[in-house]
C-alpha cells in the first residue's frame, strides 16, 4: 500500500510510520520535519501535499493541536486553535483527500482519551476529539468507492509519559505497540466508522 502519514515524525507518528514502512510504501509529512511539509490548518497546504504524493491507499493523520488551559482562561481564539488544527485540519484531510484515494482506501484520524475521560484544562481539546468521533461516524455513511474511515483514540502513550504524566493522575500509560496496533487495525483491517479505543481497560 501507499500510505501517507501526517505527523509521521511525532511521538506517536514516528512509531506508526516506522511500523508501516516494514511492509508498505510510506510518505511521511509534518509541519517542520519529514519528507513532505504540510500545515493541516491550511487547506491550500493540504491540497499541495496531495498533488505531490499522488494517488494513495491510506491517509493516516497523527497530527493536530488544541490549546490546553484552565476553562476560565480559554478565550474564543484559544478554542479556534483546536478547531482549525486538530478538528478542521483532519476534516479537510478527508474532504480534500477522497479524490486522491484508490477504491477501498482508508482514512485514519487521531483523537484521544479526553473525548471519553477528560482531565482539567481540556475543555477545548476534549471537545475537538468528540467532534472528530461524530464526524467519523457520519461521514463513513457517505464515502464513495468502498473508502473507509476510523479514528484511533489512545490513552496517554508510554513515549509521552514524562511530558504529560502530571495531567493524568492514575492513568496507566498505553504501550506503543498497542497504540500502533490501533492504526494497523484501521489501515489493514476492514472496519469503518469505528472509534478504535486503545485505553488501559481494553
Ligand atoms: N501523546 C499522547 O499521549 C497522546 C495520546 C492520545 C492522543 N494523542 C494525540 O495524538 C496526536 C499526536 O500526538 P503526539 O504526542 O505524537 O504529538 P507530537 O509528538 O507533538 O507530534 C505531532 C506531530 O504532528 C505534526 N503537526 C502538528 N501540527 C501540525 C499541523 N498543523 N500540520 C502538520 N503537522 C502537524 C508535528 O510536526 P512538527 O513537529 O513539525 O510541528 C509532529 O510531527 C495529537 O492529536 C494528540 O492529541 C496523543
CATH topology of domain 2-198: Rossmann fold (3.40.50)
pLDDT at 62 over 50: yes
Q: Which helix (H) or strand (E) is 27 found in, with range?
A: strand 25-30
Q: CB under 6 Å to ligand 1: residues?
A: 6-7, 9-13, 30-33, 38-41, 62-65, 85-86, 89, 110, 112, 154, 156-157, 160, 164
Q: Using 50, 70 and 90 to split pLDDT, how confident is the model at 202?
A: very low
Whether the Cβ atoms of residue 26 and residue 5 lie closer than 8 Å to each other: yes
pLDDT at position 165 over 90: no
Q: For the chain, which residues make up each domain, given as ranges?
A: 2-198
Instruction: State in Å: Cα 6 to ligand 1 middle.
Output: 9
Integer angstrom CA distances of residue 78 from 69, 122, 161:
9, 11, 25
Residue of the CA atom closest to atom 5 of ligand 1: 156
Residue-wise pLDDT tens digits, 81-110:
999 999 999 999 999 999 999 999 999 999
Closest C-alpha among 164, 51, 201, 139 to residue 27: 51
Provide the whole-model pTM: 0.98
* Mean pLDDT value across residues 49-63: 98
pLDDT over 70, % of the chain: 100
What is the gyration radius of the CA atoms in the chain, in angstroms? 16
**Mean predicted lDDT score pLDDT of the chain:** 97
Between helix 123-139 and helix 88-97 the angle, nearest 10°, is 20
Per-residue pLDDT of 15-55, as tens digits, reads 999 999 999 999 999 999 889 999 999 999 999 999 999 99
Look-up: residue for cell 482519551?
113
Q: Which three cell numbers stand for residue 20?
A: 508501516
Pocket test of ligand 1: the residue of 10, 53, 163 to mutate, having most ligand atoms within 8 Å of its CB, is 10
Position 27 scores a pLDDT of: 98
Predicted confidence at residue 28, as pLDDT, reads 98
CA-32 nearest atom, ligand 1: 40
Distance 172 CA to ligand 1 centre (A): 20
Amino acid at each position: 500500500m501507499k500510505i501517507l502519514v501526517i505527523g509521521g515524525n511525532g511521538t506517536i507518528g514516528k512509531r506508526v510510520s516506522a511500523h508501516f514502512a516494514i511492509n508498505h510504501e510510506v510518505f511521511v509529512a509534518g509541519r517542520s520535519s519529514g519528507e513532505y511539509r504540510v500545515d493541516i490548518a491550511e487547506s491550500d497546504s493540504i491540497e499541495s501535499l496531495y498533488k505531490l504524493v499522488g494517488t494513495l491507499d491510506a491517509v493516516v493523520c497523527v497530527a493536530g493541536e488544541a490549546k490546553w488551559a484552565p476553562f476560565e482562561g480559554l478565550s474564543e481564539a484559544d478554542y479556534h486553535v483546536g478547531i482549525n488544527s486538530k478538528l478542521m485540519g483532519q476534516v479537510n484531510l478527508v474532504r480534500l483527500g477522497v479524490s486522491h484515494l484508490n477504491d477501498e482506501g482508508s482514512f485514519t484520524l487521531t483523537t484521544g482519551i479526553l473525548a471519553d475521560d477528560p482531565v482539567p484544562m481540556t475543555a477545548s481539546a476534549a471537545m475537538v476529539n468528540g467532534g472528530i468521533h461524530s464526524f467519523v461516524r457520519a461521514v463513513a455513511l457517505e464515502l464513495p468507492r468502498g473508502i473507509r474511515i476510523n479514528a484511533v483514540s489512545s490513552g496517554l502513550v508510554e513515549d509521552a509519559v514524562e511530558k504529560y504524566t502530571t495531567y493524568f493522575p492514575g492513568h496507566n500509560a498505553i504501550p506503543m505497540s498497542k497504540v500502533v496496533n490501533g492504526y494497523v487495525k484501521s489501515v489493514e483491517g476492514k472496519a469503518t466508522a469505528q472509534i478504535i479505543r486503545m485505553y488501559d481497560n481494553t
